[in-house]
């Protein structure tokens, strides 16, 4: 029985910990000596932390299910200047001991307002064919139910409830600005392409608090799923130009940019290039935003550096509050 309330991850310091956390990731690995251990990522609504359970049993491995809860007892220690938990014991928590408020994700925006703006942008598309196609998606209750609350990725960017909506709203707003800067672009193609580029994720990803891949997601991926969804919509709307359908499919196929990043084709139209550029920027900016709050591995008078697993580079993080004042003093 937990006595002192939830031990929030953001507040953990070296020492004893007894708490319930959500399992974000779980892998059963083997030490150099051939002994099994669990490598976990545990989370609540303040952040996540790596954890290890040495000499794990089969029962403990079965207990650590992604998206499920575990009650752990162990020690918080620093590893390369980053906290981690060494688990001494773990079990399934009693339902009444789980503080659901500790796991509800809060967002800095109103999802209903973002969705309303996305709808307005789509129903205002200048091209009649593409507007009709957009309205078919908006009228698809099953698609929209998942689009409204689903994550945009498992880890890389917007990996939380309403993440897909936030990402799509952001890139569509950027798309409007890009079309103002390059007025010769097909505005309808750009905006609908941005709306649809990750449409397959409504099926690829399941869960919000700890996103994971569905069977279709593992076997097909969101690009293939998105193409299939679009193809079914186009078959039901024979009045939509075949050429426009092909151009939209190309945007979905090419939005990762390169084959090694998952796109079967590189962007071969200006609209496809704009979609790829905007969505890549927005994804990386979200990753930067979330990782800036992580503790640095090395620090000096200018701030801190840490290796970003998401961005595959060192990033500047946790700038001291005195930096601006120091810069102003140096400049004077």
> Percentage of residues in the chain with pLDDT exceeding 70?
91
Tell which wins on pLDDT, 3 or 145.
Answer: 145
Given this model, what pLDDT does residue 329 score? 44
**Given pLDDT bands bounded at 50, 70 and 90, which one contains residue 332?**
very low
How does strand 47-54 pair with strand 82-91? parallel
Given this model, what pLDDT does residue 154 score? 78
Q: Give the model confidence (pLDDT) of 236-261 as tens digits.
A: 999 999 999 999 999 999 999 877 77
Whether the pLDDT of residue 138 is over 70: the answer is yes
DSSP H helical ranges for the chain: 58-63, 111-123, 128-138, 141-149, 163-181, 187-196, 201-204, 215-219, 222-235, 242-254, 270-291, 323-331
Work out the widest C-alpha separation in the chain, in whole angstroms: 68
Distance separating alpha carbons of residues 255 and 265, to the nearest angstrom: 9
**Given pLDDT bands bounded at 50, 70 and 90, which one contains residue 326?**
very low
- Between helices 128-138 and 222-235, what is the axis angle to 10°? 110
Contact 287, 156 (CB under 8 A): yes
Given this model, what pLDDT does residue 318 score? 65
Closest CA to 289 of 41, 108, 51: 108
Q: Give the model confidence (pLDDT) of 293-306 as tens digits.
A: 676 777 776 777 87
Whether the pLDDT of residue 325 is over 50: the answer is no
Distance separating alpha carbons of residues 51 and 37, to the nearest angstrom: 10
Distance separating alpha carbons of residues 297 and 161, to the nearest angstrom: 29
Set out the domains of the chain in order of their start, with CATH numbers.
9-102 (2.40.50.140), 111-289 (1.10.3210), 302-331 (no CATH)
- Residue 147 backbone dihedrals phi, psi, to 5 degrees: -60, -35
Q: Give the model confidence (pLDDT) of 67-124 as tens digits.
A: 788 999 999 998 877 789 999 999 988 888 888 888 877 777 889 999 999 999 999 9
Non-local (6+) Cβ contacts of 258 within 8 A are 266
The neighbour count for residue 79, using CB atoms within 10 Å, is 10
Query: Quick one: 78 exposed, middle or buried, by C-beta within 10 A (0-12, 13-18, 19+)?
Result: exposed
Distance separating alpha carbons of residues 137 and 194, to the nearest angstrom: 13
- Residue 270 backbone dihedrals phi, psi, to 5 degrees: -60, -35
Whether the pLDDT of residue 328 is over 70: the answer is no
Tell me the mean pLDDT in the region 196-225.
Answer: 88
Given this model, what pLDDT does residue 2 score? 59
Contact 71, 53 (CB under 8 A): no
């Amino acid at each position: 029985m937990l006595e002192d309330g939830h031990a929030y991850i953001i507040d953990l310091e070296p020492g004893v910990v007894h708490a319930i956390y959500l399992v974000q990731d779980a892998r059963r690995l083997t030490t150099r000596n051939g002994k099994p251990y669990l490598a976990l990522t545990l989370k609540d609504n303040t952040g996540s932390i790596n954890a290890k359970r040495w000499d794990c049993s089969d029962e403990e491995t079965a207990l650590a299910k992604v998206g499920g809860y575990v009650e752990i007892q162990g020690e918080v220690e620093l590893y390369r200047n980053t906290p981690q938990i060494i688990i001494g014991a773990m079990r399934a928590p009693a339902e009444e001991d789980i503080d659901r408020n500790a796991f509800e994700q809060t967002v800095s925006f109103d999802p209903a307002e973002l969705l309303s703006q996305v709808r307005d942008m789509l129903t205002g598309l200048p091209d009649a064919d593409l507007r009709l196609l957009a309205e078919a998606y908006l009228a698809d209750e099953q698609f929209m139910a998942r689009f409204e609350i689903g994550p945009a990725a498992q880890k890389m960017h917007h990996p939380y409830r309403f993440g897909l909506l936030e990402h799509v709203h952001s890139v569509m707003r950027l798309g409007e600005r890009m079309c103002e800067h390059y007025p010769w672009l097909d505005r309808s193609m750009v905006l609908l392409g941005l709306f649809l580029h990750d449409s397959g994720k409504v099926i690829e990803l399941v869960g919000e608090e700890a996103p994971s891949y569905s069977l279709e997601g593992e076997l097909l991926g969101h690009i293939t799923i998105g193409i299939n969804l679009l193809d079914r919509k186009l078959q039901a709307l024979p009045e939509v130009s075949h050429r426009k359908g092909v151009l939209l499919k190309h945007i979905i196929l090419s939005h990762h940019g390169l084959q090694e990043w998952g796109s079967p084709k590189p962007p071969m139209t200006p609209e496809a290039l704009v979609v790829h550029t905007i969505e890549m920027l927005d994804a990386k900016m979200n990753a930067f935003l979330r990782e800036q709050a992580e503790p640095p591995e090395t620090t000096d008078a200018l701030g801190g550096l840490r290796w970003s697993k998401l961005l595959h580079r060192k990033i500047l993080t946790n700038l001291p509050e005195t930096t601006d004042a120091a810069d102003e003093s140096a400049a004077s």
